[in-house]
Amino acid sequence: MEKKKIRNDIILAVCVLAASLIALAVFLCVRARGSYAVVLIDGKETARYSLSENAEIEIKSENGVNTLKIENGKASVISASCPDGICTAHRAVRYGGEVIVCLPNKLVIRIDSASNGGVDAVS
40 lies in the binding site for another protein (CB under 8 A): yes
Burial tier of 90 (Cβ tally within 10 Å: 0-12, 13-18, 19+) = middle
* From 51-59, 68-76, 99-107, span contacting another protein (CB under 8 A): 99-107
16 lies in the binding site for another protein (CB under 8 A): yes
- Candidates 9, 46, 115, 121: give the one binding another protein (CB under 8 A): 9
55 lies in the binding site for another protein (CB under 8 A): no
- Candidates 57, 65, 86, 92: give the one binding another protein (CB under 8 A): 86
Q: What residue ranges in the chain does DSSP mark as E strands?
A: 36-41, 44-50, 55-61, 64-71, 74-80, 99-102, 107-112
